[in-house]
Amino acid sequence: MKKLLFNAKIPLLIIIVIVLLAILADALAALTGNDPYTYHLDLLNSDGVPLTGPTLQHWFGVEPTTGRDLFAIVTFGARTSLIVGLGATILSIIIGVIVGLFAGYHGGKLDIFLSQITNLVLLFPALIFMIALSGVVPDWFPRILLLILIIGCFGWGGIARVVRNESLRLKNEEFIVAAKVMGVKNRHIIFRHILPNLMKTVLIFTTISVPAMIGSEAALSFLGVGITAPTPSWGRSIAEAINWIYVDPWFLIFPAIFLFAITLAFNVLGDKLGAKEL
Amino acid sequence: MVKHQYRAKIAVVTFVAFCMMMTLALTACGSSSSNADDTLYILSSSKKVDLDPAKSQNLAITYSAYIERKLTTWDVSDSGGETTVVPDLATNIGEVSNDGKTWTYHLKDGIKFETGAEITSQDIKWGIERSFAPELSGGLTYHKDLLEDGDTYEGPFSGQDLASIQTPDDKTIVFNLNRSYGDWPWIASQPAFSPVPKGTVQTADYGKKPVSSGPYKVDSYEVGKQMVLVKNDQWDQATDDERTFDGKEPQKIIELLGQSAETATDRLIADTGNDQTAFSSDFVSPQKLAQIKANPTASKRLVTSSAGALEYLAMNTTRPGLSNLKVRQAIEYAVDKNAVRVAAGGENAGDFATTLITPGIQGRQDYDLYPASSSGDQDKAKALLSESGVDISSLNLVLVTETSSSLLNEAQAVQQALQQVGIKVTLKEVDSDTANDIITGSGEFDLVISGWQPDYPSANANLQPLFASNQIGNGNYNLSRFSSVDVDQKIAAAQSEIDETKAGQLWAEIDKEIMEQAPVVPLLYNKNTYIIGSKVSGFYIGSFPAYPVYFKIGIN
């Protein structure tokens, strides 16, 4: 365990820092009296380009054409990314575990049916469908919830397949067979014996899922079908900043670094956990 | 009814579109190896070109003028003078009868189609009649409301002709209008007034290869790739005083289609190979503008128009909250025009607007019914809101916006300003086609930022399409659903006035009367900025419209 913690120290640290930034976004922004919505046109020149880079007042500088505080945009954007990333991951894990468990443990026709659906979800051109779907959903539907639902509902294929294979294996382990022979009910076997044995797999998979989900949110927002303005989102900031790369590189650097850092950190953490456990 | 094109948009960014653009950009780069010095390239973000005059809303001086001549055309001064209407196929801009209802035109000698056939008055009549056919809708409609029996005519393909257009001989054409109309010579410069060989049957493909009457003809066309125009040897410079190319006349014009505006700008900044004799028909985006200004060689190749088209915030007057005059007046004060302008690119984007009639239009009177600093007046707005008796906290206004960066930024600038006086605004981001369907069709929205380039330099073209009650819905541009019997009557009266000074006064009064009802917030008189290659000459923008005169552009 000590070795694991040491190996995973740096990614864990990064994740903790970003999570703290997201949780404390309001408080941190309040330190300098900023929020991600207030315009500061006096900090821009007549073409809408920021007059300065990072300052004591605006730690990451300000956004071109609006003068909004970039630090606040990045930290509030972290909140958006993490809520969507974790929300979608939890949703996909729940669906994936249930489907995988039933398919693997129950077997037979149900297994064939559920496995086919899993394959369908895995092969489905999810991004295109997400773009289409987020275009037709009515305005009053909360956007963050919509993204969690869309990304979560298309992300459970992998976990379902892994859980199915694991439960197939577990089903034939001696302790399960013994339990069955003793007349233990299926429900008891699933919840008391199989699920606890799946926990490690699920944990590793969760860690690897989170960055993928965060990436999906950023991709959708980048394409203009994710979180609606003015709610900060890294993906949208990056899409906007690309146009400003020659004039105001700060605008691209901060959201991009954060997106890169959190995806990398979760992936490395997942790898370390996997290497240790499997 | 030209919906004013916005400053260069980022093309709709879906993965698919993105991949397609990349492919196209690569294809285009591949063809840059052979450099013919006398070929003019036009980089365009549109994927399709439809040159069918019946369906066209093109200005008289842009792309379609290469192919199609009309009865009249525009003379745009390159030194700031007023744009005037001048003869094109006709010998003069029209002889009017005393009652103002009958207009007669005589055709010049020596005018020919690309086939070598002489252009006759019947060909012009056929061209106009086609525009009435329901299957060819989408073009400008001014003449359809004016020609007698135009409201019931269904086009020539059923064998009927329109009796209010007479052709006593091959060289004469007479128009009978249902009322006196002083701006008729401008109407005769619109796309439908170009000749189409009489009897040409309707095919959906006519717009891909129309029979040319102008200096160029279509050689080839591939959707999403390019349209190639070559010289039309039947066109005689002696009959055409306007299409005079500056420097070397292009022997070939290639319009490259589906070019992302940003990529096109980057190519023109680099200015290599064929791009030296190229220009982009899209505006330079605010981001690129800031970048180019820091580049001394590229910034010399920027061409910016004077303040022209009106950009405005339309308020849907049929919706809860916005149906209340006091609420709309509060929004007039609340909007931060400066924030909108910065979002649009700062001073380059335009001047602050207060009137509906745009600068450079005859009869325009400058006034400001809602005087405030360029950042608005929040106290006045709040006071008006509390007077209105509307429960503001219950409102949630939907602002429809296209998913292009500068429009989205402008929408956010409006949103944050309204939020400061307590009005909640939700942005609805959609692609441009969907946005158009919503704002000109269903009307399921509260606010939208739109722009309007008049179809010809007259207050009528500023006001009638945006505020007459018969222009609501069905693809028309009365976006605020403004409906006033009194304004409708005054518009009709001003249209019939042949005396230009008197008409000007009438229009100025209508302008104020509409603004008292506050259906829109005038935001900016837009300036359009273009970038051109180093070997392009004669690229200028007059006082009207805020677009270059294509048929003056040559190569040096």
Question: Contacts of residue A222 in chain B, CB cutoff 8 Å?
Answer: 13
**Does B16 contact A at CB distance below 8 Å?**
yes
Q: Count of residues for chain B?
A: 556
Cross-chain Cβ contact B343/A48 below 8 Å = yes
pLDDT tens per residue across span B400-423: 988 766 788 899 999 999 999 999
Q: What proportion of chain B, given as a percentage, has pLDDT over 90?
A: 56
Q: Give the pLDDT of residue B1.
A: 42
Q: Determine the 3-state secondary structure of B17 from DSSP.
A: helix
B500 CA to chain A: closest CA distance, Å?
39
pLDDT tens per residue across span B93-142: 999 998 889 999 999 999 999 999 999 999 999 999 999 988 887 788 88
Burial tier of B265 (Cβ tally within 10 Å: 0-12, 13-18, 19+): buried
Cross-chain Cβ contact B345/A135 below 8 Å = no
The token pair that represents B536 in the structure block:
């392009």
Is pLDDT at B35 greater than 60 in this prediction?
no
Give the pLDDT mean for B347-368. 88
Q: Which of B7, B282, B342, B378 to mutate to test the interface with A (most CBs of A within 10 A)?
A: B342
d(CA B131, CA B193): 9
Do residues A75 and A25 make contact, with C-beta atoms less than 8 angstroms apart? Answer: yes
d(CA B314, CA B446): 8
A246 CA to chain B: closest CA distance, Å?
6
ipTM of the complex: 0.77
The residue of chain B nearest to residue A224, with distances taken between CA atoms, is B403
Cross-chain Cβ contact A229/B290 below 8 Å = no
Q: Classify residue B296 as left (phi > 0), alpha (psi -120 to 50) or beta.
A: alpha
Q: Give the pLDDT of residue B27.
A: 42
**Does B291 contact A at CB distance below 8 Å?**
yes
Q: Give the pLDDT of residue A277.
A: 54
Cross-chain Cβ contact A48/B345 below 8 Å = yes
Type of residue found at B363: G
pLDDT tens per residue across span B431-466: 777 888 888 888 889 999 999 988 888 888 889 999
Question: Contacts of residue B10 in chain A, CB cutoff 8 Å?
Answer: 243
Is pLDDT at B7 greater than 70 in this prediction?
no
Q: What are phi and psi of B503, to 5 degrees?
A: -60, -40
Angle between helices B325-334 and B405-420 (to 10 degrees): 110
**B427 - beta bridge partners?**
B399
Those residues whose C-beta lies under 8 Å from the C-beta of residue B136, and which sit 6 or more positions away, are: B52, B54, B55, B130, B155, B202
Identify whether A230 is preceded by a cis peptide bond (ω within 30 of 0).
yes
Instruction: Count chain A–chain B contacts defined by CB atoms under 8 A.
Output: 96
Of B262, B416, B434, the CB nearest to A243: B262
pLDDT tens per residue across span A116-152: 999 998 888 878 887 787 767 877 788 889 889 988 9
The token pair that represents B19 in the structure block:
């991949």
B13 CA to chain A: closest CA distance, Å?
6
The residue of chain B nearest to residue A242, with distances taken between CA atoms, is B287
B14 CA to chain A: closest CA distance, Å?
6
Cross-chain Cβ contact A48/B13 below 8 Å = no
Cross-chain Cβ contact A39/B426 below 8 Å = no
For residue B487, CA distances in Å to B452, B463, B510 come to: 19, 10, 7
**Does B424 contact A at CB distance below 8 Å?**
no
d(CA B256, CA B261): 12
d(CA B174, CA B103): 6
Give the strand pairing for B39-43 and B252-256.
Answer: parallel
Those residues whose C-beta lies under 8 Å from the C-beta of residue A25, and which sit 6 or more positions away, are: A72, A75, A76, A78, A79
pLDDT band at B28 (very low <50, low <70, confident <90, very high): very low
A220 CA to chain B: closest CA distance, Å?
9
d(CA B128, CA B266): 41
Give the pLDDT mean for B67-79. 92
**A254 - beta bridge partners?**
none
Do residues A194 and A170 make contact, with C-beta atoms less than 8 angstroms apart? Answer: yes
B266 CA to chain A: closest CA distance, Å?
11
**Domain regions of chain A by residue span:** 2-275
Handedness of CA B400, B406, B412, B418 (dihedral sign): negative
pLDDT band at B12 (very low <50, low <70, confident <90, very high): very low
Q: Which residues of chain A have pLDDT under 70?
A: 1-7, 135, 276-278
d(CA A169, CA B121): 87
Q: Count of residues for chain A?
A: 278
B219 CA to chain A: closest CA distance, Å?
36
Type of residue found at B77: S
DSSP character for A217? H
Helices (H), chain A: 2-7, 9-23, 25-31, 70-106, 108-123, 126-136, 143-153, 157-171, 174-181, 186-188, 195-222, 234-242, 250-277
Of B405, B426, B429, the CB nearest to A243: B405
pLDDT tens per residue across span B504-548: 899 999 999 999 999 999 999 999 899 999 999 999 998 888 899
pLDDT band at B319 (very low <50, low <70, confident <90, very high): very high
Of A64, A65, A224, the CB nearest to B429: A224
Is pLDDT at B19 greater than 70 in this prediction?
no
Question: Contacts of residue A131 in chain B, CB cutoff 8 Å?
Answer: 14-15
Do residues B113 and B211 make contact, with C-beta atoms less than 8 angstroms apart? Answer: yes
The residue of chain A nearest to residue B400, with distances taken between CA atoms, is A139
Handedness of CA A250, A253, A258, A261 (dihedral sign): negative
Q: Give the pLDDT of residue B36.
A: 60
Beta-strand ranges (E) seen in B290-362 are 302-304, 310-315, 350-352
**Does B402 contact A at CB distance below 8 Å?**
no
Q: Which of A40, A45, A47 to mutate to test the interface with B (most CBs of B within 10 A)?
A: A47
Of A38, A41, A247, the CB nearest to B287: A247
Question: Contacts of residue B408 in chain A, CB cutoff 8 Å?
Answer: 229
Query: CA-CA-CA-CA torsion for A165, A166, A167, A171, nearest 10 degrees?
Result: 100
Question: Contacts of residue B427 in chain A, CB cutoff 8 Å?
Answer: 228-230
d(CA A278, CA B199): 80
Cross-chain Cβ contact A244/B287 below 8 Å = yes
Superfamily holding A2-275: MetI-like (1.10.3720.10)
pLDDT band at B33 (very low <50, low <70, confident <90, very high): very low
d(CA A66, CA A62): 8
Cross-chain Cβ contact A229/B427 below 8 Å = yes
**Does B261 contact A at CB distance below 8 Å?**
no
Nearest to residue B512, comparing CAs of B289, B317, B357, B308? Answer: B357
Cross-chain Cβ contact A66/B426 below 8 Å = no
B309 CA to chain A: closest CA distance, Å?
20
The token pair that represents A90 in the structure block:
């939890």
A204 CA to chain B: closest CA distance, Å?
31
The token pair that represents A169 in the structure block:
């294996």
Q: What proportion of chain B, given as a percentage, has pLDDT over 70?
A: 93
Of B285, B347, B415, the CB nearest to A46: B347
Residue B175 is inside which H or E element, if any?
A: strand B172-176
Q: Determine the 3-state secondary structure of B228 from DSSP.
A: strand
The token pair that represents B95 in the structure block:
């002889």
Cross-chain Cβ contact A47/B348 below 8 Å = yes
